[in-house]
A and B are shown apart, each in its own frame.
Chain A
Amino acid sequence: EAGVTQFPSHSVIEKGQTVTLRCDPISGHDNLYWYRRVMGKEIKFLLHFVKESKQDESGMPNNRFLAERTGGTYSTLKVQPAELEDSGVYFCASSQGVRSPTQYFGPGTRLTVL
């Protein structure tokens, strides 16, 4: 069974540009989470999807970040326009259902904003 996959693995963009990160969860997992680790800081929660619905987006930093989960499958996280402080590693995780709190993480996308 394939794990959580994320694309791209690395992205380097200029300040003001747009970047879209993609996450494919483990097949059949209803819950999808986005987290971010800014250099030297903790891994911080961004948001949580249950199927295609946003369950909790309390960690989204501002309205430059837009997350979607089409049809309850893969998810995208768009940053527009990117700022220097958005640099970091963006992790995606998935879990099976409401009775399964174990989250499985993808390899992350390292975003560098110059």
Chain B
Amino acid sequence: AQSVTQPDIHITVSEGASLELRCNYSYGATPYLFWYVQSPGQGLQLLLKYFSGDTLVQGIKGFEAEFKRSQSSFNLRKPSVHWSDAAEYFCAVGARSSGGYNKLIFGAGTRLAVHP
């Protein structure tokens, strides 16, 4: 069965520090992978996605993620965190079916706090 694991429920970093949020997935084929962010009082915003090709993908707000097939991972990184990055981050895998694309399977989310 498909699943997504985000091992860290809460992470606290200092402003300006680097960040890495972990995501591991379980999926039989090449997955479609996504990172979404939910800021307080907001909906889910797409940060970046991986479908194929270059395993290092760039997203919005200075985020990047690297797909590592051998480790079944899709970790999210940012070299220097800003206070406005405080939010909850969700990793998701999309399953491809013969009829198209169906549901996303989400991890439990990682809540990021940023200290000044």
Contacts and interface: CB of A to CB of B under 8 A. Distances in A.
**Do A and B actually bind?**
yes
Interface of A: 4, 31, 33, 35, 41-45, 48, 50, 55-56, 59, 91, 93, 95, 97-108
A42 B106 contact: yes
Contact of A41 (B99, B102, B104, B108): B108
B100 A50 contact: yes
B53 to A, nearest CB: 15
A25 B79 CA distance: 34
Interface of B: 32, 34, 36, 42-46, 49, 51, 90, 92, 94, 96, 99-109
A45 B42 contact: no
Nearest to A100: B101
Given A91-B43, A107-B42, A108-B43, A98 B101 contact: yes
A56 B108 contact: no
B26 to A, nearest CB: 14
A91 B44 contact: yes
B105 A45 contact: yes
Contacts of B109: 42-43
